[in-house]
Each structure stands twice: as C-alpha cells, then as structure tokens.
Structure 1
Amino acid sequence: MAKNIKREVIEWTAFFFVGVGLSLTGYHTEVIGTLQRIILTTGVFQPSENEATVLADYDLLLEDLEGNTLSLSDWKGEPIFLNFWATWCPPCIAEMPDIDKLYQFVNKKIHFAIISVDDDREKVKSFAKRKGFDFPIYFAKSRLPKVYESTTIPTTHVIDAKGHIVISQRGMAKYSSDAFITYLRGL
C-alpha cells in the first residue's frame, strides 16, 4: 500500500513539474495545439454548410504584416476564406497546418484572409516566420462587422462569389480534406 502511494506521489509530482515547465516556457500552447492537431487527423471536426443564407459584409479594412491596407470589398464577387485566430490559442495553432495545405491547393481560386486577433504584431510576425506558413496574415484595421463577430476562436467564414456566407465554423476544423477542397473549388 505504501509503495503505491509513494509511486502516485512521484507520478503526480513529475506531472506537476512538467506542467509548470511547459507553462513557464510558453510551450504549453504548442503542446496542446499539437495534441489537438492529432485529434483533427481523425476527421471528427469537419466544417459544414450554413442552413440559412447569410449575406457577407464587405465593410472591413485589413492590414497585412508589412502594413499594407486592403478592403474586403476589393474581393467582392470572388470566394473568400476568412479565419480569425490568435498565437495563444491551441485550437487555432492545431488547424493552421491544415489551412496552409488548403491554401496550397486553392489559393488561385479563393482569397484568404487569416486575421489575427493578437495585440502584439511582432509576436504574430515571429510566429508566422517560425512556422513558415504561406497564407497571408492580416489584422482588422476597422471595426469588425457584426456578421463576423464571435466569442470563439478560431472562427472561420467562407463567402461565395454571390456574397453569401456559406460556412461559419466556430472552433477548429480539418480544412484540408478532399471533400472540403472540392467544395471550395466549386464556389
């Protein structure tokens, strides 16, 4: 009996110090993101089409990592993939590799706006450089239209060429599936 208690104390102590170490070094977000990425490979979290027709609001100014400004209205009449995320959000980090794969497959047909909600722009630049993602990262330069507001990140909206929000996904999803790529190519 005493052996089991001693073993449990050692295991819980080790678990505690690993957790504290991950938290203090900032790697906890990466570790949790990696675990969630593994869950995404199961295909459990798939984006689904909206039931009702919701119109997009193009009244949104974006600023890229270099400080260039563009309006969402510049892309009016063309499909758009909008994703709201943060560097401190494990589910966001988990889905980023899938979004990057998706971007590789469909970026000629669809505009991508991966919009960071981080306050620290340098941290976002550093994160993007370290990860080597090819998709464009933006910051909202104007107030977010109500139709895109969410208390959850990641949140993704897909707008078709007619200006309808055909997908609104709150929470992470696997975006690089063959079915989703085919769907986007058909927009």
Structure 2
Amino acid sequence: MKKKIKKELWQWAGIIAVLLILYTTGLHTEVIGFAQRGILATGLMNPDVDKTELALKDGSNPRADFNLNLIDSKGAQVSMEALRGKAIFFNIWATWCPPCIAEMPSINKLYNEIKDENVAFIMLSVDDSFEKAIAFSERKGYDFEIYTPNGPLPAMYQSRSIPTTYVIDADGNIVMTHRGIGNYGTKKFIEFMRSIQ
C-alpha cells in the first residue's frame, strides 16, 4: 500500500513539474493551442459564413471602417484605406492566446490558397510587445504578414474576446464576424472568400 501511494506521489510530482516547466517557459500557450486544434478538427468551431453577428436591423451588412493605420513586421506603415476594393480577412490575435495559436495553421492554409487573388489579410497582433509576435510568426514559419495597430482601433473592431475575425467584402461591407476559435482552411470557407472578392 505504501509503495502504491509513493508511486502516485511521484507521478503527481512529475505532472506538476512538467506543468511548471511549461508555464515558466511560456510553452503552455502553445501546448493548450495544440490541444484546441483537435477541437477545430471536429468542425464544431467552424465560422458561420451564412450570417454576420453585426447585421443591421434591416438585415444588411454594416460598412467597414477603413480608418485604421498599421505597422507591419518590417516597420512599414500601412493604411487599411489602401486595401479598399479587396476582400479582407481581418483577424485580431495575440501570442498569449491559446485559441489564437490553435487557428493559425488554418489561417495560413487559407492565405496560401487565395493570396494571389483580390484579397488582403490583416493579422493584427494585440501583444504588448510586437517583437514577440514577430518572433513567434517567424518561428512558426507562417507566410502571412502580421501587423500592430498604429493608433486606436475603430470602435467597430474592438472586441472583448480574441481571437476575433472580421471578413470584409470587396464592396467594403462586413459580411462575417466570428468571435473565438475558428477553422478557416475548410473548402467551404475558401469558397466563401472567393465569392466576396
């Protein structure tokens, strides 16, 4: 009986040690994100491309606010206004957010499928340190550009939860809003992005 208790104590000590190492090294976010990627594979968290959470009372889609200035990973200033006329995939994320980490591979897949079409990607990091976001993106090998805000976010893009994704059609309408984790690499979502260009 004492051997069994001693063995269980050692097992729990090992689990606690692993958790402490993950937490102190900052890898816990990526481990949780990896586990959440399994949830994405079920299809339960797929964004609903048939409706927008921001639909106006008359059922129409709200107009996007293009009054947003950004800085890319190379330090260049970019105006959202310069993207007018393109479909825009706009994702707000952070390196400390496990659901954000979990959906990144599907966003990268989407990006690689449609990057040469009439579409722009705004992957907006809200990390306190943009350098940390840049290092994360480079380490993961993502192909899309990442940005940080260069000034305040327009009110319509302020969300209490991240990740939050807005999809803006080529006419400047917000045609989809998805709060929380999503799988954007599906055939249905890729077709949706092509339909709004």
Q: TM-score, normalised by structure 1?
A: 0.94
Deviation at 1:13, TM superposition (A): 2.1
Equivalent residue letter for 1:182 = E
Distance in 2, Cα, partners of 1:6 & 1:146: 57
Equivalent residue letter for 1:55 = R
Identity of counterpart residues, as a percentage?
48
Matched, 1:161 2:163: no
Find the counterpart in structure 2 of residue 50 from structure 1.
52
Q: Structure 2 residue aligned with 1:180, among 151, 175, 189? A: 189
The secondary structure found in structure 2 opposite 1:40 is helix
Find the counterpart in structure 2 of residue 129 from structure 1.
138
Distance in 2, Cα, partners of 1:101 & 1:109: 16
Deviation at 1:12, TM superposition (A): 2.3
Equivalent residue letter for 2:52 = N
Find the counterpart in structure 1 of residue 147 from structure 2.
138
Distance in 2, Cα, partners of 1:50 & 1:111: 19
Deviation at 1:2, TM superposition (A): 5.2
Structure 1 range deviating more: 10-19 or 116-125: 10-19
Find the counterpart in structure 1 of residue 98 from structure 2.
90
The secondary structure found in structure 2 opposite 1:55 is coil
Equivalent residue letter for 1:50 = T
Equivalent residue letter for 1:14 = G
Matched, 1:32 2:41: no
Distance in 2, Cα, partners of 1:70 & 1:147: 19
Q: Structure 1 residue aligned with 2:75, among 67, 78, 83? A: 67
The secondary structure found in structure 2 opposite 1:122 is helix
Query: 4+ residue stretches of structure 1 with deviation over 6 A?
Result: none
Structure 1 range deviating more: 111-120 or 49-58: 49-58
Distance in 1, Cα, partners of 2:76 & 2:167: 23
Deviation at 1:122, TM superposition (A): 1.8
The secondary structure found in structure 1 opposite 2:192 is helix
Deviation at 1:50, TM superposition (A): 0.6
Equivalent residue letter for 2:76 = N
Deviation at 1:14, TM superposition (A): 2.0
Equivalent residue letter for 2:32 = I
> Would you tell me which structure has more strand in proportion to its own residues?
1
Unaligned runs of 5+ in 2: 56-60
Equivalent residue letter for 1:142 = G
Distance in 1, Cα, partners of 2:151 & 2:21: 38
Q: Which aligned pairs between 1:112-127 and structure 2 lie closer than 5 A?
A: 112-127=121-136
Find the counterpart in structure 2 of residue 81 from structure 1.
89
Matched, 1:9 2:9: yes
Q: TM-score, normalised by structure 2?
A: 0.89
The secondary structure found in structure 1 opposite 2:136 is helix
The secondary structure found in structure 1 opposite 2:75 is coil
